[in-house]
């Protein structure tokens, strides 16, 4: 019983190592394919495999000379090979007691020669093997076995490099999230300071401008918070815009309605769309009146984000004019970032609509 318990604990830790390297079911990789091709040439065998032993299967990261991606664990020789730190050698599997009953040997496949070197992690767990296979019996000398072990070490070096790269990326992402959190807190702090200053009795007419600046900074902070709240590569655009509208409505003390198509969009769209909405809604609250309507549309030509209010624009208003305020300049730059453009129209009652249109595919 003690031996069985030890064996199961060892296998549990080994599987934890397999999961840590995150290699199972990954796409083909030229670095590993070159190693199996080199092994086949070096040992003059038709088949060379880099295998990873899973709980119930043996999955092939690279399979030179064999059009199979995986086999069951039970008949697999690689499952036997990982039980030792030494290479597993079968010069003639048809007469070797260890492999006589193996389906790959006794069945139609007709395996006769097998040599597998374990892929051993730095903490001593065997993930799988680098193995060479032939359908004819053959000898293998000590120098060849050492070469096979060296190639297995090269495989592990590649796996270690990939693991180190993923770890570095994860750490960088965690650091980026921490920085983003601090940036958001700083923006909220600056907004609070501006609001306090705007309410000071000695600022006079400048108070309104300070409050506007405070609102803009607070809105940018909310865009920042919503953008970095998502772990996936896509985000529901309408859900994002509605959450942002709720925050802006509270900051600007205005009613904001959001409508449009329900779909996920790449996260790279979210930040510019959020900032565009922030600027247009902020300008609508400053210069317009009544309810603010936000619409996200999709068409064959691409997408569009519109912000309309119940105010009025001067007849000669031109969003491309150099004298237009900071908000319009920011919106134009963000529209260019999306590969689109800003346009202004008027509804039937004369109230303005600002629309940013952009294509689905941007260069």
Query: Alpha carbon 94 to chain centroid distance?
Result: 48
Domains of the chain: 2-166 (3.30.450.40), 232-363 (3.30.565.10)
Alpha-carbon span 193 to 203, nearest angstrom: 14
Contact at 8 Å (CB) between 277 and 307? yes
275 within 8 A of 261, measured Cβ to Cβ: no
For 158-169, how does the pLDDT look when each residue is reduced to its tens digit (9 = 90+)? 999 999 888 888
Could you tell me where the DSSP H helices lie in 114-141?
none
- The DSSP bridge partners found for residue 50 are 62, 130
Q: 106-154, pLDDT tens digit by residue?
A: 888 999 999 999 999 999 999 999 999 999 999 999 999 999 999 999 9
**Using one digit for the tens of pLDDT, what is the confidence trace for 305-315?**
999 988 777 76
What angle is formed at CA 151 by the lines to CA 149 and CA 155, rounded to 5 degrees?
110
DSSP letter for each residue of 147-207:
HHHHHHHHHHHHHHHHHHHHHHHHHHHHHHHHHHHHHHHHHHHHHHHHHHHHT-TTSTTHH
Task: Kindly state the average pLDDT of the residues 3-24.
Answer: 84
Identify the pLDDT of residue 146.
Answer: 97
Whether the per-residue pLDDT at 2 is higher than 50: the answer is no
Is the pLDDT reported for residue 89 higher than 80?
yes
pLDDT value of residue 201: 79
Whether residue 362 has pLDDT greater than 50: no
Rg (CA), the chain: 32
pLDDT, mean of residues 268-296: 84
3-state DSSP percent of the chain in helix, strand and coil, to 5: 45, 20, 30
Q: Exposed e or buried b for every residue in 234-270, given b needs 16+ CB within 10 A? A: ebebbebbbbbbebbbebbebebebebeeeebebebb
pLDDT of residue 226 exceeding 80: no
Q: Is the separation of the CB atoms in 247 and 219 below 8 Å?
A: yes
Reported for 91-97, long-range contacts at CB under 8 A and 24+ positions apart, including other chains, are: 91/137, 91/138, 91/139, 91/140, 92/137, 93/137, 94/137
Kindly report, residue by residue over 304-344, the tens digit of the pLDDT.
999 998 877 776 676 666 455 677 888 888 888 888 889 88
């Amino acid at each position: 019983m003690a031996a069985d318990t030890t064996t199961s604990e060892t296998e549990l830790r080994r599987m934890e190592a397999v999961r840590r390297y995150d290699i199972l079911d990954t796409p083909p990789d030229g670095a590993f394919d070159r190693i199996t091709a080199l092994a086949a040439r070096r040992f003059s065998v038709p088949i060379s495999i880099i295998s990873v032993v899973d709980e119930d299967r043996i999955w092939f990261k690279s399979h030179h000379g064999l059009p199979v991606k995986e086999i069951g664990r039970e008949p697999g020789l690689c499952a036997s090979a990982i039980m030792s730190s030494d290479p597993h050698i079968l010069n003639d599997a048809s007469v070797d007691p260890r492999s006589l009953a193996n389906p790959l040997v006794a069945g139609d496949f007709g395996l006769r020669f097998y040599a597998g070197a374990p892929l051993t992690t730095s903490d001593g767990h065997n993930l799988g093997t680098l193995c060479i296979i032939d359908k004819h019996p053959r000898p293998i000398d000590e120098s060849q076995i050492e070469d096979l072990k060296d190639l297995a070490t090269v495989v592990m070096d590649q796996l270690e490099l990939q693991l180190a790269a993923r770890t570095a990326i994860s750490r960088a992402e965690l650091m980026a999230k921490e920085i983003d959190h601090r940036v958001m807190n700083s923006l909220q702090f600056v907004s609070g300071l501006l609001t306090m200053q705007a309410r000071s009795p000695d600022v006079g007419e400048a108070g309104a401008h300070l409050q506007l600046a405070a609102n803009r900074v607070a809105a940018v902070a909310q865009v920042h918070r919503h953008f970095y709240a998502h772990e996936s590569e896509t985000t529901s655009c309408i859900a994002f815009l509605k959450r942002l509208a709720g925050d802006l409505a509270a900051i600007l003390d205005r009613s904001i309605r959001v409508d449009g198509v329900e779909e996920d969009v790449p996260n790279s769209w979210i930040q510019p769309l959020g900032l565009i909405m922030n600027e247009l809604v902020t300008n609508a609250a400053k210069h317009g009146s009544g309810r603010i309507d936000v619409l996200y549309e999709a068409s064959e030509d691409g997408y569009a984000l519109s912000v309309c209010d119940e105010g009025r624009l001067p007849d000669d208003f031109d969003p491309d004019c150099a004298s237009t305020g900071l908000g319009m300049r920011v919106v134009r730059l963000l529209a260019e970032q999306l590969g689109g453009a800003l346009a202004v129209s008027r509804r039937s009652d004369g109230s303005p609509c600002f629309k940013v249109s952009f294509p689905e595919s941007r260069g």
